[in-house]
Structure 1
Amino acid sequence: MLTYNVRGENIEVTEAIRNYVEKRISKLNKYFTDATQAIAHVNLKVYSNKDAKVEVTIPMPYITLRAEETSPDLYASIDLVTDKLERQIRKFKTKINRKSREKGFPVLSDDVPNANGEDEADNSSTDLKVVRTKRVSLKPMDSQEAVLQMDMLGHNFFIFEDAETNGTSIVYKRRDGRYGLIETDE
C-alpha cells in the first residue's frame, strides 16, 4: 500500500490539497499487493506565472514509477499526473509481466514487476561539479527489459545487472532513435 510524502515549493500544502493528492493517487493502490509498501513522493510547485507543476515518484525494489505534469490549475495537474502514472503501469504491465513471472518478481498485483532508477549527474562543459547523486541497486534483467524500463522512466540511459553474465551493463538511447548497449568486463 502507498504512503505519501507531499512537499510544496512556493505553495503551502494545506490539508485540502494533501487530502486531494492522497485521494487521487490512492487509486493506484489497486495495482499493488497488500504486502507492497511504497512511498509516493509528491512535489507540488507553483511558478510566478501561476502554473502548477506536480511531480510524483514512487520508488520500489524493482521499478521506479515517475510522472510530472504542469497546467494552470493545481488540481488538474494532480489529476493529469495520476492518469499518466496509471497509463504507465498498464502499458508496461503487459510488456514486462511475462519476464517477471519467469524470474519470480510479483511486486505489483497482476505481477507488474519493478525496475531500478538510474544514476544522474548534471555536468556542464564549463563547470564539472556534480550537483546530484543517486544511489541505485542493480536488478538482474536482460537488455530488452532494461530498454523498456528506461523508456518508462523517460531517461536516456539505464544501468542494470545482466541476468546472464551477472555483469553491470548500460542501455542508452542513440541520437538516431535506436538503442545501444555497454557491457563491462568483470
Structure 2
Amino acid sequence: MDIVVKGRKTEVPDRFRNHVVEKLKLDKIQKLDGKVISLDVEVSKEPNPRQADRSDRVEITVRGRGPVIRAEAAAKDPYAALDLATAKLEARLRKQHDKRLTRRNNGRVPAGVVALTAGGAELNASGEFTADEGAEKIPTTRMGSLEIQGEGPVVVREKTHTAAPMTLDQALYEMELVGHDFYLFVDSDTKMPSVVYRRHGYDYGVIHLNADPFAEEVPGGAGGALGG
C-alpha cells in the first residue's frame, strides 16, 4: 500500500512526512480493510490570522476496491490535525469493517464486535441483537429506502426528476438561474449523471459519475463528495 503525502499551497517538511508514515500504521489499517490500495494525505494551511486555532488542515483519503473513505480535521498545528483526522479515519474504517462482518454473518453481529446500541439492545449467545424487555420500544419509521428509529436525526426527502440531457454550458446557466451552488444534470456529451458546482471566486467544478462494473456493490447505493 502506498502512502502519498502532499501539500496544497504549502511545503511539507520531511520530518512531518516521516511522522505521517509512523502515525498511520499500515498493519492496523490493512487489518480493518485488506483491500486498501493507496492512502493520500493532503496538508493545507489557512493564512487568515483570525483562524490561527484552525490554521493547519489534514485530509486523509483511503482508496481501495470498495468505497472511498475520507477523514479531515483542522487544528493549530499539523501534528494535532493529523491526530484528529487519524482518529476519525480509524473510527470510519472500523465501522465499515464491522458492517462487512455483519453482512457475512447474514445480519448477525459477531461476538467479537463491540456494539453500542440504544434502547437496551444486547448481544445473545448466537451473536444476534435482542431487545431488553424492560426497555422502552423505539418506534421505527420508513422513509423511502431508509429505516429510521426514533425521531431522527435523519430527515429525508426523496425526489425523482425527469430531465433532458444538456451541455455543461447549459447546466451552468441553469444553476445561475436557480441561484444554487450546485446543479445535477445528465451530460449530453458523456451521457453520465453529472454535477456542476461553484468553487472559490468565479471558478466552477464538474463531477461525472461513471459506474464501475468491477467494483463491489455498496449496500444502500453510491455516494460522493464535492470538493477539490
Query: Which TM-score applies when normalising by structure 1?
Result: 0.56
Secondary structure, aligned partner of 1:131: strand
2:197 aligned partner: 123
Question: Which letter does structure 2 place at the counterpart of 1:146?
Answer: G
1:20 aligns with 2:14: no
| Distance 1:94-1:37 versus aligned 2 partners, 3 A rule | closer
- What are the ranges of 5 or more consecutive residues in structure 2 without an aligned counterpart? 107-112, 114-192
Deviations 1:95-116 (A, max 9, x none): 23333577xxxxxxx9xxxxxx
Question: Which letter does structure 2 place at the counterpart of 1:94?
Answer: D
Matches of 1:130 and 1:141, distance apart in 2 = 31
Secondary structure, aligned partner of 2:84: helix
Matches of 1:17 and 1:9, distance apart in 2 = 15
2:88 aligned partner: 84
The answer to whether the 8 A contact 1:10-1:47 is kept is no
**Structure 1 ranges of 4+ moved more than 6 A:** none
Matches of 2:76 and 2:208, distance apart in 1 = 31
Secondary structure, aligned partner of 2:62: strand
Q: CA deviation at 1:18?
A: 0.5
Matches of 1:25 and 1:6, distance apart in 2 = 12
Q: CA deviation at 1:140?
A: 5.5
1:38 aligned partner: 37
1:66 aligns with 2:88: no
Matches of 1:100 and 1:8, distance apart in 2 = 39
Question: Which letter does structure 1 place at the counterpart of 2:197?
Answer: N
Q: CA deviation at 1:79?
A: 0.8
Deviations 1:2-35 (A, max 9, x none): 31111112321111110111111224233243xx
| Distance 1:132-1:4 versus aligned 2 partners, 3 A rule | farther
Matches of 1:97 and 1:82, distance apart in 2 = 22
Question: Which letter does structure 1 place at the counterpart of 2:81?
Answer: S
Alignment of 1:98-117 (within 5 A): 98-99=102-103
Structure 1 or 2, whichever has the larger Rg, is 2
Query: Which TM-score applies when normalising by structure 2?
Result: 0.47
1:175 aligned partner: none
Could you say which structure has the higher helix fraction? 1
The answer to whether the 8 A contact 1:121-1:130 is kept is no
Matches of 2:82 and 2:41, distance apart in 1 = 10
Alignment root-mean-square deviation, CA: 3.2
| Distance 1:39-1:134 versus aligned 2 partners, 3 A rule | farther
Question: Which letter does structure 2 place at the counterpart of 1:131?
Answer: G
1:4 aligns with 2:8: no
State the identity as a percent. 22
Secondary structure, aligned partner of 1:88: helix
The answer to whether the 8 A contact 2:196-2:207 is kept is no
Deviations 1:141-166 (A, max 9, x none): 47xx226x75xx7x59xxxxxxxxxx
